[in-house]
Chain A
Amino acid sequence: MPRLSTSLLRNAKAIDPLLPSLLRPCRTLQAAQNELRWLREHVLGDHRTRNHTAAHQASILRRLVRDRASGKPLQYILGTEFFGDLEIACRPGVLIPRQETAASITHLTHLLLTCGALPRSLRVLDLCTGTGCIPLLFRHELLSARNDTRLQLLGIDISPSALALAKHNAQRLTNDTPHISIEFLRSNILSTAPPDSLAHTLTTHSQPTTWEILISNPPYISPSAFWKSTTRSVRGFEPKLALVPPALKPGIGDTEQGDVFYSRLLAVAEEVGARVVLVEVADLEQAGRVARIVKKKNVWDGVEIWRDWPDGHEEEQGGGDEERLGCKILGSGNGRSVVFWREEGRAWLGK
C-alpha cells in the first residue's frame, strides 16, 4: 500500500483534526470525510449518547475515530451495514455483509420475479448465513414485488453468535406475514455424520428435506490469499471462521483448502433437490474451478458465472475468459458467483 502523502495529511488536518487518523483505513479524503460525518451523526443521533454534553460527545467521537484508525470496521462501530435496501445489524464475531453479495441476490430475485413461471410456493435454503442478510433480502425483494407466493426461508450457520445475530435481525426487519416463514438453525455443513450433519439437523427440527433454491456465501479465501489480498481491517477484526475454510486433512494444498466448501455444497444441493443454486466465489479462477466440478457432475442443465455487478453492462476484460473457463460470464467487476440450475430452474431464471 503506498504511503499517504504529507500534503494529503496536511490538507486533511486543515479540514478537521480528526481526519488524518481516518485517512489510514480510508486512503482517500472523500471517503475519510464521509466516514467522519457518519461517525459524527452516530454520536449525535444515538439514543445512548444523544443527551450527553457536547464535550462528552466530542470525547466519544475521538474514541470512535481512534478505534476506526486502528482498523476496526466502521460497520462494527456503527452497529449496522446496508445490504440492498435493508439495514442489517452487525456485531464483532460475525462477517459484515458485502455489497457484491447484495448485488448478486438482487439480480437473482429480479430474474425469478420477471420469469413469470415461479411456483406459488418456494423454499429457500441459505448455508453459512452469518447475519442472516441473504434470506432477509430475498424475503424483502420478493415481498416488495408480489404478495401471493408462499415462502419458506432457512438459514444455517455453525457459529452460535452468528445465529443469535441472525435471529435478532429477523426480529428487527420482519413483521408478521403468515405466508412467509424465516428460521435459523445451527449445523455443520462440512460434517456428513449425525448429530452435526445438515440432513440430521433438518429431520430433528422437522424441516422439509427438499429445497428449491440454495444460496451460499461460504468461507472461500485460501490461507495464502488471506495473508496477501485481504485488507488489514478484514484480517484483524472479522472472524477467520467465516473467511478461510478449515484444513480437513493434514497436508492439504492451498487452493484446495480454499475450495473445501464447494464440493460439499454441490453434494448438499443434490441431496435437497435444489433447482437453482447460487454460490459466491473469490475470483474468476475459483469460479472456473467450481464451474468445472458442476459440469463434471452431469446433473445440472446449465452454469453461469456472474461478476460483481451482474446487471451492469457486459465488460470485456482482456477477452477470452469465456472460452478459457468454458461458460458464460455476466456483468462487470471481479468474478463473484457461480449460478447453476436444472429442470424447472431453467424456466425460473428465464435462461
Chain B
Amino acid sequence: MSTLPWVCRNCLSRITRPTFRRLVRYQSTGTIVASRESIPSGLLARARQIAVEHKELTDKLANDFDPRAARKVGEYGPIVDALKAWDNANKSVAELTGLIHDPETDAELRELAADDLSATRESLVDASQSLTTSLVPVHPFAHLPCLIEIRPGVGGSEAAIFAGDLLRMYQAFCNRHGIRATLLKYENVNGTQEAGLPLSEAILEVGNEGAYGMFRCEAGVHRVQRVPATETKGRVHTSAVSVLVLPSIGENSLGEEDINDPESDYYIDPKEVKLEVMRARGAGGQHVNTTESAVRLTHTPTNTVVSMQDFRSQPKNKEKAWQLLRSRVAQLRREKREEELTALRRSVVGVAKTGRGDKVRTYNWGQQRVTDHRSGTTVHDLDDVMGGGQTLEKVMDSVRTWLMEQDVQALIAEQTTEKK
C-alpha cells in the first residue's frame, strides 16, 4: 500500500514547472557580435581586401592623379586605419599572452604583462568595434531630414487616439533633443485641424540633418494594449498604428542637381506627372472669386497620387505636393531596388522588413511595458517613453544597434554568395 496521499494530476504537473515563468522575452534573432573582440571572418577578409586595394590605389595616385581613385582612397582611409589599429592590438595581445605562458619568464615580468594585457584587451575591443562600424555601409539617406507619417491601423477610434499619443511622443522627443520638428499635415477624424480629437493622419517633418538615420528605426506597426478611454466594460484592447518614415528632401537637403539628375531616386520627369488644379466652375475669371487652391499630382508610371489643399496659396500647395511626391516615389524606387537584395539576405539571415506591414513594437499599459520586437529590448518606464524621454532614446538606440548588426550580417551574406 502506498503511503503517499493522493495528489491531483494538475498539481503534480505543476510541481515539475517553476511557479513563475520568467517574464523575459529573449531576443529571437541572435546577435552576430558574439564576443566583443572578435570580428566575423567575412568582414575581416573584406577589410584585408580593401587594404590591398587601398595600397594599389595609393601607388597609382603617386604617379598620376585620377579623381575617382582619389575619392575611393578617401573612402577607404578610415577602414584601413581601423584595420591597422586592430592588427596592432591583436599582435600585442598575442605577444603578452605568449610572455605569460612562457615558463622562462620571471614572476615580476609576468605580473607586469598580466597588468598590460587587460588594457590591451580593451583597446582591442575598441579597435574591433571601430573596424565593424567603418565597414558597415552608411544608409544612403541617413544624412537627410525625414517625414514621419502616422496613421491609425486596426482598432477604430482607439487606434486613432493612440496615433495622437504617438505624435505627441515624437514631438516631445524632438523638443527634448532640440530637434526642429514641424507639423506638415494634421487631420483629426473630423477632417479638421483641431487638437485633442482622435487623429486620422499626421505628417511630422523633422528638419535636422541626419534625422532619417535617427528615426529610420521607428518605421513599422506600433501595437498598443490597454483599456481604451472609449471602453465601458474595462476590457483590454489591442490596436495598431502604422508609422512611416520617409527621407525628406527640402530645398536645402538636396541640391538642385539631385532633383534634376535622372540617376537620382528623387528625379521625376515632369512629363510623367499629371497636374490637376481645382478650377473655378463655369466662366472663371472675374465671374467667380473661388478660394479653391487644391492641387493633385499623379505620377503615372507608379500610379502614386498626392493631393494637397492645406494652404490658400496654390503655388505653395503645388510645391508641397511635389515634395511629398518626390519622397514617396523615391521610397518606392528604393524599396523596389532593395527587394531583390532583401530576398537574398532574408534567405540567409532572416532580416525582418522594416517598411510597412510588420509589428515592430508593443506598448502595454497593463504591465507598464514597452517591448521592441526587433532588438528584443523591454523597458518598463512607459510614461517616460510616451513623454519622449531617456527610455525612448534607449529603445531607439537598441533598434539602431540591431539595424547595424543586421546590415553587417547581410554584408557578410552578400560576400559569401559572391564568392560562390
Contacts and interface: CB of A to CB of B under 8 A. Distances in A.
State whether these chains interact: yes
Interface of A: 15-16, 26, 30-31, 33-38, 40-41, 73-75, 78, 81-82, 84-85, 87, 95-96, 98-101, 217, 219-221, 225, 229-231, 233-234, 238, 242-243, 280-283, 308-309, 312, 333-334, 336
Given A73-B291, A98-B284, 17 more contacts: A15-B191, A16-B190, A33-B191, A33-B192, A75-B291, A82-B314, A82-B316, A85-B313, A98-B285, A99-B280, A229-B282, A231-B287, A234-B289, A282-B287, A333-B284, A334-B283, A336-B284
Contacts of B287: 221, 225, 229-231, 234, 282
B312 interface: yes
Contact of A34 (B280, B309, B313): B309
B312 A82 contact: yes
4 smallest A-B Cβ distances: which pairs? A82-B313, A229-B283, A230-B287, A74-B291
Given A82-B316, A85-B315, A309-B277, A34 B291 contact: yes
Contacts of B280: 99-100
A38 B277 CA distance: 19
A220 B405 CA distance: 70
Interface residues of B, number: 28
Contact of A308 (B279, B293, B316): B279
Interface string B272-294: 00010101101111111111111
Contacts of B275: 312
A82 B293 contact: yes
Q: Give the residue among B292, B309, B312, B313 with the most A Cβ atoms within 10 A.
A: B312
B309 A87 contact: no
Interface string B190-229: 1111100000000000000000000000000000000000
Contacts of B194: 40
Q: Give the residue among B279, B285, B286, B309 with the most A Cβ atoms within 10 A.
A: B286
Interface string B252-281: 000000000000000000000001010110
A308 to B, nearest CB: 6
Contacts, number: 105
Interface string B302-319: 000000010011111000
Q: Give the residue among A15, A95, A231, A242 with the most B Cβ atoms within 10 A.
A: A231
A333 B280 CA distance: 10
Interface of B is mostly: loop
B288 A231 contact: yes
B286 A38 contact: no
A26 to B, nearest CB: 8
Given A30-B294, A30-B309, A31-B292, A99 B314 contact: yes
Contacts of B284: 98, 100, 308, 333-334, 336
Q: Give the residue among B279, B289, B292 with the most A Cβ atoms within 10 A.
A: B289
Given A73-B289, A308-B279, A87 B313 contact: yes
Contact of B285 (A40, A74, A282, A312): A282
A202 to B, nearest CB: 27
B93 to A, nearest CB: 64
Contact of B288 (A26, A75, A234, A312): A234
Contacts of A234: 286-289
A73 B290 CA distance: 8
Contacts of B315: 82, 84-85
A15 B190 CA distance: 5
A282 B293 contact: no
Given A15-B190, A15-B191, A336 B312 contact: no
14 contacts: A16-B190, A40-B193, A74-B291, A75-B289, A85-B315, A100-B285, A220-B286, A229-B287, A230-B287, A231-B282, A234-B287, A238-B289, A282-B287, A336-B284
Interface in B309-358: 309, 312-316
A26 B51 CA distance: 69
A334 B279 CA distance: 10
A98 B293 CA distance: 11
Contacts of B289: 73, 75, 96, 98, 231, 233-234, 238
A336 B280 CA distance: 13
Contacts of A220: 285-286
B285 A334 contact: yes
A99 B288 CA distance: 10
A191 to B, nearest CB: 22
Contacts of B292: 31
B283 A98 contact: no
Contact of B283 (A85, A280, A282): A282
B310 to A, nearest CB: 8
A187 B305 CA distance: 49
A38 B190 contact: no
Nearest to A283: B283
A73 B312 CA distance: 14
Contacts of B309: 30, 34
Q: Give the residue among B279, B287, B312 with the most A Cβ atoms within 10 A.
A: B287
A255 B289 CA distance: 22
A81 B290 CA distance: 11
A41 B312 CA distance: 12
